[in-house]
Amino acid sequence: MSPLEEAVKKSDLIYVAIPVDVTIPIVEKILNLITDKQIVADAGSTKYALSKAIENHPMRKRFVLSHPMWGTEYSGPEAAVKNAFVGRACVICDKEKTDKDAVQLLENLYTELGMNIVYMNAEEHDVHAAYVSHISHITSFALANTVLEKEKEEEAIFELSGGGFESTVRLAKSSASMWVPVFMQNRENVLDVLNEHITQLRKFKASLEKENVNFLVELIENANKIKKIIK
């Protein structure tokens, strides 16, 4: 008996929290091993590819597609933070395809951690995640590369960096082994968001090139509307 088989056999709930490129084959193996008394859930940042991969599996009804939306730029058990999930959103996808008792158990678990439950289908999740999470990481990686390319003296970066730079570039410390699979699985949505982001950057560039102060003010004041959404 393999370690996976042995672990599954002993478990009531199997929780899969690994990079999304290996989640699908591992979840398929787990679903092949469980009974209808066990529950499986994942924590991945992409949902649609996984949803499609298991949609016809006979044990699909025992699987809960979930995404607790919290994380830091650090990886591993040492990155744990007390009360990290309090007040954060957890998305549960395609709940109608899952047995009610399985959904209820995960809802109770996440609620006990202080999370707010949000429901949507897997395809919607990936679109929204591209806008609120995936593009943030790409922007941070790109900014870090920009600064590292232009500023060859690392000491100057640390001496001059302030709160704004540090908070914006923080995500650039995130692991490639986690984020490359996310970007690739959600490639079409990420490209859509990235194209719009590039368009917005070009507007700022054009306003500076043409010394168009009014347009620059307009762009910034329009961006300020985000305060109505994010307090």
DSSP letter string, 186-228: THHHHHHHHHHHHHHHHHHHHHHHTT-HHHHHHHHHHHGGGGG
- If you average pLDDT over each of 50-54, 80-84, 222-226, which comes out highest? 50-54
Q: Computed over its alpha carbons, how large is the radius of gyration of the chain?
A: 21
| Extents of the domains making up the chain | 3-120, 126-228
Which has more pLDDT, 34 or 226?
34
pTM: 0.88
Long-range Cβ contact pairs of 28-35 (< 8 A, separation 24 or more):
28/53, 28/54, 28/57, 29/4, 30/4, 31/57, 31/59, 31/60, 31/62, 31/63, 32/59, 33/4, 33/5, 33/8, 33/9, 34/8, 34/59, 34/62
Question: Same CATH fold, 126-228 and 3-120?
Answer: no
- Please write the tens of the pLDDT for every residue from 99-120: 999 999 999 999 999 999 999 9
Banded model confidence at residue 168, pLDDT cuts 50, 70, 90: confident
Look at residue 155 in the predicted model and tell me its pLDDT. Answer: 66
Q: Under CATH, which number does the domain 126-228 receive?
A: 1.10.3660.10
Which has more pLDDT, 151 or 190?
190
Look at residue 97 in the predicted model and tell me its pLDDT. Answer: 98
For 3-120, CATH number out of 3.40.50.720, 2.40.10.500, 3.40.50.620, 3.10.450.50 equals 3.40.50.720
